[in-house]
Amino acid sequence: MKRNPHTLALILAFVLIAELAVAGSPPSAFVRVSPRDPRYLELTDGTPYIPIGLNMIIPPRGETDEAEALRGMEAWLASLSANGGNYIRVWISSRFWDIEHDKSGVYDESKARRIDRLLELCEKHNVRVKLTLEHFRSIEGADRWVKRLHHVSNGGPAKSTADFFDGEAPRAQFKNKIRWYGDRYGSRPVVYGWELWNEVNAVRVGDDYRRRWSSIMTWTGLMLAELHKTFPRNLGMQSLGTLDNERVRELYQRNSTLPGNDVAQVHRYLDLGASLEVCKGPVDVLAADAIRELRSYDSGRPIILAESGAVEPKHTGPFALYKADREGTLLHDVLFAPFFAGAAGPGQIWHWDAYVAANNLWWQFGRFAEAVRGLDPPAEAFEPTMLEHDRLRIYALKGRRTLLAWCRDKASNWEAELKNGEKPGVLRDLRVDLRPVLAGRQARRLRVYDPWSGKWSEAKLRNGAIELPPFSRSIVIKAI
């Protein structure tokens, strides 16, 4: 039988499209703040986007073997992507990626090729990346947070760390660096956004707290404007240190509402050395509280818990009990609590290597991804609330069509499980009254999802209440 050449061409085209779909084609749409609901994100083609991922600042073995480091980075990306992840954060100012490591204002092409490869790997695995431009805390001194090459004594443009932010020459040079990145990466949809600095309020620019903050915020405003001019299709943002004391609240409010700061980000950890008591308790509570804090500023922007996890007191190292958390209960709470408290996505854990990869916890991202599969947050216009219950903390999202609720066992927490070695109990015969959030609306379908077993089951309302199946730690309710 003679085949029509046009038919053969169509068949081959469909086969190629199918292969690309399986292999993962590079993203073609950019991430943006949703015009339908600016508290959430979407792609420029209108597809909802919930950033599911973590900080992945540097690759493994990056100081000794470039090829092995990039292979390790790809292995992490593949594990994340296979479990529904679509986002990472990378510090391109860290040693492995840093293009400006030898002389101030001089950019290393060989390091730039590493960033090229990073973006290629992210495209391959359909993972978008937030690129953080800087993280040093001083240009004077000798510790690991110092970048002395910017000081005039080393051929740099700044007389001091304060001058790096206030001086015209250092400002002009930083803008040049942004433009250099723009020339190379300005049209890449795989870039989620550009972050000016990691925890900029930690920069050591003098003892006068308010003056220092005013100087850094002026600089941030100027550089955010430069980011948007250079990367008109990417998000631009700034970050602050962990929200663990009263004084930093004022800084967070100003940063979260600053013009040009597209995403209101917050960092918060479980830290027994913190001055705020909330940072020492259950991880779901401290994570949700951080989101509520930023929601109280009424910025109308997406809010993300952009760094979280657990640390030894006052950030002296990764949490000693990470090794005991083989099932990822800390990661689970970091993922679920922020989104169900009103964030634009799950929380983003910090210890990608010493905790997530070390304990092989990539599956936890898949469980969150499954819980929100098919969800369109901008279309739902979700409003977060809490439901009263004697055994559970119930974080609920009331949407136009959908009700989602994450139920967390009050008795099961990091202290009970990881410190005291208590196994989480099985909760049985629990009922949850949904009438306060359904508000007379009839649910056409009611389902529950156990994120620990990965299974959905059907449920029914009886007198406005749902009877939950037996579960441990947490369970999700979905009503449509």
Distance CA 141, CA 467 (A): 61
**Whole-number pLDDT of residue 209:** 65
Distance CA 72, CA 154 (A): 35
Distance CA 397, CA 385 (A): 6
Instruction: For the chain, give the mean pLDDT.
Output: 93
* Domain match, 183 and 296 both: yes
Q: Is the pLDDT of residue 113 over 60?
A: yes
Distance CA 393, CA 18 (A): 44
Q: For residue 146, is it within any domain?
A: yes
Q: Give the mean pLDDT of 232-260.
A: 97
Helix (H) or strand (E) holding 183: helix 168-185
Q: For residue 135, is it within any domain?
A: yes
Q: For residue 217, is it within any domain?
A: yes
Q: Which of 353, 377, 401 is the last residue of a domain?
A: 377
* Domain match, 368 and 423 both: no
Q: Give the mean pLDDT of 345-355.
A: 98
**Whole-number pLDDT of residue 198:** 98
Query: Token pair of 245, please?
Result: 């004391």
Q: For residue 390, is it within any domain?
A: yes
Determine how many CB atoms are found less than 10 A away from the CB of residue 9: 10
pTM for the predicted model, two decimal places: 0.94
* Domain match, 443 and 372 both: no
Question: For the chain, how many structural domains are there in total?
Answer: 2
* Domain match, 351 and 246 both: yes
Segment 390-405, tens digit of pLDDT:
999 999 999 999 999 9
Q: Is the pLDDT of residue 17 over 70?
A: no
Domain limits at 64? 30-377
Q: Is the pLDDT of residue 19 over 70?
A: no
C-alpha 282: how far from its chain's center?
A: 20
* Domain match, 293 and 324 both: yes
Segment 34-92, tens digit of pLDDT:
999 999 999 999 999 999 999 999 999 766 799 999 999 999 999 999 999 999 999 99
Q: For residue 429, is it within any domain?
A: yes
Q: What is the CATH number of the domain that holds 354?
A: 3.20.20.80
Q: For residue 19, is it within any domain?
A: no
* Domain match, 40 and 183 both: yes
Q: Is the pLDDT of residue 10 over 90?
A: no
Distance CA 191, CA 30 (A): 8
**Whole-number pLDDT of residue 381:** 97
* Domain match, 82 and 138 both: yes
Q: Is the pLDDT of residue 24 over 50?
A: no
Q: Is the pLDDT of residue 440 over 70?
A: yes
Q: Which of 344, 377, 410 is the last residue of a domain?
A: 377
* Domain match, 401 and 352 both: no
Distance CA 269, CA 257 (A): 22
* Domain match, 161 and 298 both: yes
Q: What is the CATH number of the domain that holds 402?
A: 2.60.40.1180
Going by C-beta distance under 8 Å and a sequence separation of 6 or more, which residues neighbour residue 16? none
pLDDT band at 291 (very low <50, low <70, confident <90, very high): very high
Q: For residue 448, is it within any domain?
A: yes
Q: Give the mean pLDDT of 227-248.
A: 97
Q: Which of 342, 377, 412 is the last residue of a domain?
A: 377
* Domain match, 188 and 304 both: yes
Assess contact for 403 and 437: CB atoms under 8 A. Answer: yes
Segment 156-172, tens digit of pLDDT:
999 999 999 999 999 99
Q: Give the mean pLDDT of 326-347.
A: 98
Q: Is the pLDDT of residue 7 over 50?
A: no
**Whole-number pLDDT of residue 211:** 74
Q: For residue 15, is it within any domain?
A: no
Distance CA 16, CA 35 (A): 34
* Domain match, 111 and 239 both: yes
Assess contact for 87 and 81: CB atoms under 8 A. Answer: no
Q: Is the pLDDT of residue 428 over 80?
A: yes
Q: Is the pLDDT of residue 436 over 60?
A: yes
Q: Is the pLDDT of residue 12 over 50?
A: no
**Whole-number pLDDT of residue 6:** 42
- pLDDT greater at residue 207 or residue 441: 441
Segment 173-212, tens digit of pLDDT:
999 999 999 999 998 999 999 999 999 999 988 777 677 7
**Whole-number pLDDT of residue 14:** 33
Q: Is the pLDDT of residue 18 over 80?
A: no
* Domain match, 365 and 404 both: no
